Structure 1
C-alpha cells in the first residue's frame, strides 16, 4: 500500500513549487509575481531551519530512524530534498531574471558593476570609500583570528586572498548594516540601483589591501532552528526567562545550508564547509540575489502603476452584525460566523472591548499563539483586567519565531493584572479559543468563540480563516472544562461537543469517518469533505483509505502537505484532492461528515498532522446553525469548483492546474466580490431602516 503515501518533506516541496508557479504565472500582476518569488525563498529558508534541521538532529540520534509512511531514513530524505531543491532553485532563478527584465520596462533597473556607466562607476567607488568602507568589519581567518560567527539569513562577502608568499587566506565582510540602505540609488534620477552586497563584493579588494583577490562570492548561512524547549527545561528556572535564554541559544545553532552567489574553487568551498560544519552537498549556488526581500522596496517605487498589482481589496463589514446593537447580545440571539479576509475582524475585536466594559461580564479566558505587533486584542484584555474582570490568558511561549513577541505580551498582560499560563509541559497550545462568562437573566451565560486562525489583525487581512461565535450553553461548558484543565496543567480526556486534542480529536475524527463507512455499507449515501493546510496523520490517512475502499466519496482541499495520494485504483480511487494557492493564504479548517440534513460540520485550529492531533492542544467546534452550515457548504463547494488557482493531485502525486472549462472561477476573488456586494446591500438596508425609524418617530 506504499504507493498511496507521499513523504511529508517532498510533499511540502511540491507546495512550495505551487508558490513558485504563481511567480511564473503571466496572469498574476508583475509586482505580485515578485512577492511570490520572495515567499518561495523565505518558505524554503524556514523549511531548512525547521524540517531539515529536525532530520539532521535525528541522524545524530540514529541513522536507522525511518518515517512511518514511505519508510525513508533521515539521510534518504535529506538527499531527496537537496536534489529537488536544486531543480526548483533553477526555476526560481529563471523566474527572477524574467521578472526583473519586465520591471526594467517600467523604468527600474538593478545593475551590476559590469553594466554600470563610467560616471556611475566613479560614483559607486566614491560611495563605497566614503559610506561603506568606514563601517565595514573585515575578518581574515587565521590562527589568531578564528572564523567569525555568521548570523542566520544575513549576507556576507567572502573573498579568497593570496599573500605575498602565495598562501591563501579567507576574508569575510558582513553586508548587512542598519546604517546602509539595501538598494543604492545611482545619480541622475533614472531609476537605476545596485544592491549593497554587490557593491561591497566588487570593491572588497580595497578593504584587504596588500592581498591579491583570487576569488569571491556572496554567502548566506541558514541555521537550524529545531530546539526542544521541553527537553531542555529545568523546573527550577523561571519559564519565561528560560525561553529568553533558549532564543539566544537558537541563534547559535549549527548551519543546515550555505548559499553562494558565485562558483568558487572546490578547495575554498570545502574550507567553508569545514569552518561551518556543513557537508558540501548543502552548498547551493544562486543566480538570483541571496535575499530577495528588497522586492518590496521595488514595489513601493512602482506603486503608481496599479496594473502591476492586485486590485485593492479591503475586509468588508459583515452582514452578520447590525450597527448600534450590542455584539454580545446579537450573539446570544443567534450564532455568528466571520470569514476572513472577506469579513472584517472588527466585530470580534468589538466583542472583546464590549466584554471588557460590560458590568455583567465576570471573566474572559483566551488562548494566544501569534499576535499582531500592535495588538488590539491585548489592549482589550488589559482593559478588562483593569476593570476588575477575571482575565485568564494562556500565552504559548513556544510559538516558533514568535517567542520574543509572546514573552513581551505576557509581561504586559501580567502587569495589567491578567492571570498568565505559559502552555503545558510536552504540549503546545495551538487552539484559538475565547470564552466570555457573564451573568444573564437566567443565570450564567457563556459566549464562546472558536477560530481557525490566530487573533492577529494583520493576518486576518491576508489569510483565509473562520471565526465562530456562539452562546450555545453546551459548547460554553465544554470550553470551561478546557480552560479549567489548562489552568491545572492538564488536558481534557473527553468532550461532549468540542473536539479537543491531544486526547479527543483524532479518535473522534476516526469515529466519524467510521460512521460514514458504515453508512456506505448499509446502502446509505456517505460523504466526507475536508479542508486544511496539511494532512500527515497516518492513523487518519489509513482510515480515509478504508473509507475510499468502502466507496465513500471524499473531497479534500489541502493547501500544503498531503501525504495521501488520491486516485490510486483499489485504494484511494474515491478520494479527490486539490490545493488552492492564490492571492490569500488558505488557512481555514473545515471538517464535513455526511451530507444532506444529517451532515455534521466542524471548524477548528487543527490540521490532520500528528503534531496537531496528538501533540498539541487544539479545538474544533461543531456548527449547529442550519444557516451557517449552508454557508460553510457553499464556501467548500465554491473552492472545489475553482479552476484558476486550484491544482489537482493525481495518482502519481503530481499536481497540475485544474483545466478551466466554461466559466473561470477564482474562489478567493468571487468570495471578495460577494463580501463587497453583501456589505453594500447591508449598508443600504440599515440606512433604510434608520430612515424608516426616523419617519415613524415624526409620525408619532
Structure 2
C-alpha cells in the first residue's frame, strides 16, 4: 500500500464520516412513530405503530442499552467509529429518546384517544365510570383478578421484592389507622390477564346515540381501585404505577458448555427474572421519596428513569388493533400464488402419507426454470411451504436439510420435517438456539424433531447460523438431483405475511453443490474455504462484496461508469462504508435502500456526494436484501440473508446467492426501481443522520411501493 493510499484510508476513517449505531436505531424508531403521527395512516394502524414503537424500545433497552451500561461499569474506553465512549452514547440516547417518548404518550392521550372515541372506542378513566360499571368491575376483580394478586410488603421484616422484567407494578402507600404508621407494598399487575378489561354490551359507554363498539378500562386501574381487598383494615393512602426493564441479554461460552441446549435453557430461566435494571417508567405524580426508595433498591440513577403521562406500556395497544372495524385498517391482503406455481393448486398440502398418490410436482416446475418468490405479495404457503411439504412426502426424495433461525409456534415447516422423518427420509435441521428472544420456541421444536429421528444440529461454535436455506436431495432415474431454496427471511409462515422477503427455488448444479458443502461445514468438521457461486459468511462474503464495490470503483476510474444499488436492513460495518466512500469519490453512482440503521453519511462533499440513502417504512416490514452491481454492462445481482454489519459478515453463517436467470434479474431490477421511486413510504437520509419524508410533488401521483406491488401481484393472479 502506498503512502498516498494509507493517508486516504486514514482520512476516510475519521469519526466525522460515521454516524452512531444506537442513535441511528433511534432514528429508525422515530420513523416508525411517524407512521402513527401521519394522518394518512388508518386509525387502528396508527395505534399499531404506536405499539410497535414501544415494543421496539423494550428490546432496545434490554439489549443495546444494557450492553452500554455493562461497558461503562467495566470501564471500557474503546471509541466507536463515530468517536463516542459508552457513557457518551448513553447520554445521547437519553437526550434523544426522552422527547420522543413524551411526544408518543402526549399524542396517544391528546390525539388518538379522542379519535378512537369518534369511532366508538372508549378507553375510560375510572373516575368517569358510573355506579353500574364500578359494581361490574368490583365483581370482576373479586372473581378473576383478586385470586391472582400477591401484595408484597416492604419493611424491615420484608426485604424489597424482586421485580420481574417488563412488569407493570403499583407502589402502594397504606396507613395503619390504629398506630398511624405508614407502610409500603408492591402489587404486580398480572400479565396473565388481559391488559384492557371490556365492559359487556349493556354497560358500554353511551354517547348521544353514537354506535359504541368497545368500552373498557386498564387492568391496573381496576386493581388500584380495589386495593382495600388486598389490605383489609388498612387505609389506602395512594398508589403509583411504575414499570421496569432489565438486562435480558446473555452470553453462552460454547467452548465450556457440554450441552448447548441445556446451557441456554438455564440462561432462559435467569432471563425470566432478569439482570440489572436498565430503565424505570413512572408517572410524574410519583412523590420524590417513593421514587428515591425504588431507585435505591434497584440501584439505578435519574438517567434510568422516564416520566410518562397516561397509560404506561403502550405496547399493549396491540390488543385493540384487532377490533372489528375494517374501515379503520389497511385494506386486507391475501398473498397470491406465484404464477409459475399455479398448476400446483392453491393448497400446499398436496401430498399425502399414502405414497401411491402422486403429488403435484413442484420439482418439474423448478426444473423448467428458476422460481423467484416475493412475500407477502406471493404466498409463502403456496411456494416455500409447498416445496418442503411435497419433499416430505415424495417417495423419490432421499434427504431434506434446512436451517431454522425463527419459526412460528405451530410451524407447518417443522410438521413437514417430522413427516419426512416418519417417511424414512434423512432429515437434518440446523436449529439456531441463540436466535434472540426465540430461544425457548426453538428449544421446543428441537426436542420435538429429535424425538422423531431428525438429526438436529445447533450450528458452529462461535457463530450464529442466520442463513435461510433448504436442500432437497431427490433420486431421478439413475442420478441424483439437488433442489434448493435460498431466501432472505425466516421459515415462518406468520412473519411471511408481514415481512417482505425474497427467495429462489432452483436446481442449478453448482448451487446445489455449494449448499452440500455448506451443510457439511455446519454439521461436521468441514472447513470449506471456497464456493462455486455462493457468498458465505464468514468465509468469503465480506471479501467478495468489497471486491465487487472496488470493481465498480475501477470501472469509474477507467471511464466506464459505475453503479451500485444495495437494499438491506442495516448498514453499520466501517470497512464496507469506507469502501462505498471510495467508490463515491471515484464517481460511482450509489443508491442504498436501508430500512433501519445506517452509519454512513450520504451527500458529504468530496466523500459521499454520489451516495443517496432512503428508508422505506409502511404496512410491511422491509426485510429483503438485494445487491446490484452494474459491472460495466455485465450486471450482477444477488439476494440473501446478510446485512452489511460486522455481526453478519464476521460472526454469523450467512448465504447470499447470485441470480443468473435473465428473467429474474429483470424482475429484481424492476423491483429496485419501484423502491427508488417511492414517494409515499420512502424517507431520504440527510448528511446529519436525520430523515425527510418524501411527498408527491403537486400534480404527481402517489407511488407507494407496497401498494404498487400488491396491485401487480393481484393483476398477475387475475391474468390466469
TM bucket (normalised to shorter chain) is over 0.9
- Counterparts of 1:595 and 1:509, CA distance in 2: 13
* Residue 87 of structure 2, aligned match among 75, 78, 91: 75
Q: Which residue does 1:243 correspond to in 2?
A: 264
Aligned to 1:437, what secondary structure does the other structure show? strand
Q: Which residue does 1:515 correspond to in 2?
A: 551
Provide, for residues 130-164 of structure 1, a one-character-per-residue CA deviation record: whole Å limited to 9, x for no partner: 55344421011122212222222221111234557
- Counterparts of 1:177 and 1:247, CA distance in 2: 18
* Residue 320 of structure 2, aligned match among 298, 301, 304: 298
- Counterparts of 1:541 and 1:491, CA distance in 2: 29
**Deviation (angstroms), 1:517:** 0.3
Normalising by structure 1, what TM-score?
0.93
Aligned to 1:183, what secondary structure does the other structure show? strand
* Residue 188 of structure 2, aligned match among 174, 177, 180: 174
- Counterparts of 1:595 and 1:511, CA distance in 2: 12
Kept in 2, the 8 Å contact 1:534–1:562? The answer is: yes
Kept in 2, the 8 Å contact 1:450–1:604? The answer is: yes
Q: Which residue does 2:327 correspond to in 1?
A: 307
Kept in 2, the 8 Å contact 1:215–1:264? The answer is: no
Inter-CA distance 673–266: structure 2 relative to 1 (3 Å threshold) = same
User: Would you say 1:668 and 2:706 are equivalent positions?
Assistant: yes
Kept in 2, the 8 Å contact 1:526–1:594? The answer is: yes
User: Would you say 1:259 and 2:259 are equivalent positions?
Assistant: no
- Counterparts of 2:161 and 2:480, CA distance in 1: 62
- Counterparts of 1:596 and 1:680, CA distance in 2: 38
- Counterparts of 1:531 and 1:247, CA distance in 2: 34
RMSD between superposed Cα atoms in Å = 2.0
Q: Which residue does 1:192 correspond to in 2?
A: 215
Q: Which residue does 2:657 correspond to in 1?
A: 621
Kept in 1, the 8 Å contact 2:48–2:321? The answer is: no
Gaps in structure 1 of 5+ consecutive residues? 683-700
User: Would you say 1:218 and 2:223 are equivalent positions?
Assistant: no
Larger deviation, residues 320-329 vs 278-287: 320-329
Kept in 1, the 8 Å contact 2:471–2:482? The answer is: yes
Provide, for residues 210-239 of structure 1, a one-character-per-residue CA deviation record: whole Å limited to 9, x for no partner: 5555542111111111111236x634x322
Inter-CA distance 134–339: structure 2 relative to 1 (3 Å threshold) = closer
Inter-CA distance 281–390: structure 2 relative to 1 (3 Å threshold) = same
Kept in 2, the 8 Å contact 1:270–1:280? The answer is: no
Normalising by structure 2, what TM-score?
0.90
* Residue 55 of structure 2, aligned match among 42, 45, 51: 42
**Deviation (angstroms), 1:298:** 2.6
Provide, for residues 473-516 of structure 1, a one-character-per-residue CA deviation record: whole Å limited to 9, x for no partner: 11111111111111125553232210100121111110110100
Inter-CA distance 105–474: structure 2 relative to 1 (3 Å threshold) = same
**Deviation (angstroms), 1:26:** 0.5
- Counterparts of 2:457 and 2:143, CA distance in 1: 52
**How many residues are paired up?**
677
Provide, for residues 434-481 of structure 1, a one-character-per-residue CA deviation record: whole Å limited to 9, x for no partner: 111223346332212110000011111110000111111111111111
- Counterparts of 1:261 and 1:489, CA distance in 2: 56
User: Would you say 1:414 and 2:434 are equivalent positions?
Assistant: no
**Deviation (angstroms), 1:369:** 0.3
- Counterparts of 2:54 and 2:522, CA distance in 1: 37
* Residue 93 of structure 1, aligned match among 105, 114, 123: 105
- Counterparts of 2:304 and 2:233, CA distance in 1: 33
Inter-CA distance 355–127: structure 2 relative to 1 (3 Å threshold) = closer
* Residue 256 of structure 2, aligned match among 234, 255, 258: 234
**Deviation (angstroms), 1:125:** 4.4
User: Would you say 1:367 and 2:403 are equivalent positions?
Assistant: yes
